Amino acid sequence: MAQPSPVKVLEVCRVAPPPLSPDSTTPKCLPLTFFDMVLLKFPPTQRLYFYETSHPTTTFLEVVVPKLKHSLSLTLQQYIPLSGNVTWMPDYSKLIIEYVESDTISLTIAESEVDFYSLCGDNFHEAQNFNPFLPCLVGSETRVPVLALQVTLFPNVGFSIGYAVHHGVLDGKSTTMFMHSWAFICTHGEDSTLMPELTPLYDRTMIVDPSDLETTYSNFWLGKDGPSNKSLALWDMKAPPDAMLGTFLLTQDNIENIKMCVQFQWEQTQLQKPSLHLSSFVITTAYTWVCLVKARQIRSKKVYLGISVDCRGRLKPPAPPTYFGNCITCLIVNADSDKLIGEDGVATAAKTIGEAIAGLKDGVLEGKGDLLSRYAAIPPSQFFSIAGSPRFEFYKTDFGWGRPRKVVTTSIDKNGAFSLSDSRDGNSWVEIGIVLNKHDSEAFVSVFSSGLHKTFTHA
């Protein structure tokens, strides 16, 4: 017999931006660029923000929800494409993000008696426990919405805001810029003007495609069926039924000690020239990658790590930070699993990652024509990737009721990624989200903590 839902849906509404003024410069139609085409059919990015408040149901529905709805509508006026859909031009020659006056986004209002503080905890939870608090992108073969939202009240304790966003439309930087904009308008009122760093730029002419990557990526998605394959349905990737999601913290002291250990091992084994920059990102990703390979006991195989690279400042000429859309590419690095689980594993991983990042100076888009085909050829069990970034400052998304108590990137349960974000206390460098099966999650806890202890010992 089916279990009752832990969430009671109170309302499913549609939120529209105010009518555009005649002099508005916000476009109603945007072409997809090759950056967007890479991610055209990837599953939506889903994330949950948990806020601790003491609102009873009546107050929440009469005060908080109207304020969230109104500020959302005003924000969409600046972010019109989020109200639209990914679709084809009438002649099926090109993919576009199209907004028409009747377009809206879906907003679900719900209520739950689930333990709010348990969901906000760092310990491993069943990943499926977060699903009831997340919206879905419901589209068709020829038209897929860009954004869906859900607000869930935990009476007298708090509420969550969850989103699902089409990854073929915008990357993490653009998504979090929208969330910060919504929070800003909700906090400051309808007469507030978005600051320049929150105002999206839609100019597609700054994305130059001399190698015609758009056609290359489009042909990949069309596949063997050729031009007749016009389906825009997203990949329906399922999380394993026993997937567990947990959060781990690396402080700046942890990172500095790992860095000293890596540098010592480089000197002892002559793994690397001293000139390679050991950033906090390199150390964090190297350490996490090694811990995952150890926890999953991957032996005698090549393992891969996909690293998302923000191309805005690396293009020639560069695009501004406020460019709206996808402007990322992926570095795919690899290493022998047996080397990563060895004594010098973190040093080996850091060298591999650091060299790949240093190579970006030769051109961020060099050799990207076969990016999708290389990705598709990697066995999923041997591929790891990274979602999010501490630079997105998720924990600064304050709608007027304080910083989030917890931010969870839930979509990593489907794609083998681990997530990175800033920390809730604002002092530690990074929170790391991990998804593993129950057995491997227990192993990861041990490997992660014991690795830090060994690092302190070496240092």
pLDDT tens for residues 140-190?
999 999 999 999 999 999 999 999 999 999 999 999 999 999 999 999 987
Among 22-36, 74-88, 226-240, which stretch is predicted with the lowest mean pLDDT? 226-240
pTM of the complete model beyond 0.85? yes
Please give the average per-residue pLDDT across 246-251, as a whole number.
96
* From 55, 125, 167, 180, the catalytic residue: 167
Domain with CATH 3.30.559.10 in the chain: 7-228, 243-458
Please give the average per-residue pLDDT across 78-102, as a whole number.
93
Tens of pLDDT along 43-62?
Answer: 999 999 999 999 999 999 99
Q: Which residues pair with 29 in a beta bridge?
A: 98
Average pLDDT, the chain: 92
Task: Indicate the Cα dihedral angle 196, 199, 200, 203, nearest 10°.
Answer: -60
Please give the average per-residue pLDDT across 213-237, as a whole number.
80
Task: Indicate the Cα dihedral angle 131, 133, 139, 145, nearest 10°.
Answer: -130
**Strand segments (E) across 43-104:** 45-52, 85-88, 95-98
Q: Is the peptide bond before 317 cis (omega within 30 degrees of 0)?
A: yes
Tens of pLDDT along 110-128?
Answer: 999 999 999 999 999 999 9
Give the pLDDT confidence score for residue 276 in this predicted structure. Answer: 78
Instruction: Specify the CATH architecture of the domain 7-228.
Output: 2-Layer Sandwich (3.30)
Rg of the chain taking only CA atoms, in angstroms:
22
Please give the average per-residue pLDDT across 361-383, as a whole number.
91
Q: How many residues does the chain have?
A: 459
Please give the average per-residue pLDDT across 344-368, as a whole number.
91
Question: What is d(CA 93, CA 214) in angstroms, rounded to the nearest whole number?
Answer: 12
398 counts as catalytic? yes
Give the pLDDT confidence score for residue 254 in this predicted structure. Answer: 94
Domain 243-458 has CATH 3.40.250.10: no
